[in-house]
Amino acid sequence: MNKKTKWGALAAVGVLVIAFGWLIYGGLDSNVVYFLTPKELAAKGEKGFDVPVRLGGQVKPGSVKWDEKALDLSFAVTDGTGEIAVHSHGAPPQMFKDGQGVVVEGRYGRDLVFQSTSLMVKHSNEYKAPAKGERPAEMYKSLMKSQGT
């Protein structure tokens, strides 16, 4: 290997190392979606607004407002110390209810309302099949009625 080829190979390796480092430390940060609790999101202040976030906690009992016709859902997520108002459009998962663990993905607005683009419920890994003759669609209707919505 002559001197010119050796320096060319070193320069190519150097460019690759710099590009790889930028992807890991610079470019990746703008694509990461952080998981935060309501207290942590509120504590971020200005840095918490209008950035993609996953917010986790429990649905605050008594906070659910569901408009079945408009598919409009509002509720509060709490971690026991903090609370964030959440707005979601679309039907919630069937297991959604007061006190249920949830993870919502979206953005926290300057109006202090978290605009959810995705709503997931957290549940145990135990599956309980519906009782004989019980229809899941009817269970969903009774769930929403029990919440006063």
Mean pLDDT by 10 residues, the chain (149 residues): 79 85 65 82 91 92 92 94 93 88 94 94 70 68 53
The rounded distance, in Å, linking the Cα atoms of 131 and 115 is: 36
Residue showing tokens 């917010």: 55
**Pair (46, 25) in one structural domain:** no
Inter-CA distances, 88 with 31, 53, 65, 93, 122, Å:
22, 14, 10, 12, 17
* Containing structural domain, residue 40: 33-123+133-146
In angstroms, the CA 119 to CA 110 distance is: 20
50: Cβ contacts below 8 Å, ≥ 6 apart = 107, 108, 109, 110
pTM: 0.65
Kindly state the helix (H) or strand (E) to which residue 22 belongs, with its residue range: helix 3-22
* Domains identified in the chain, total number: 2
13 and 23 inside one domain? yes
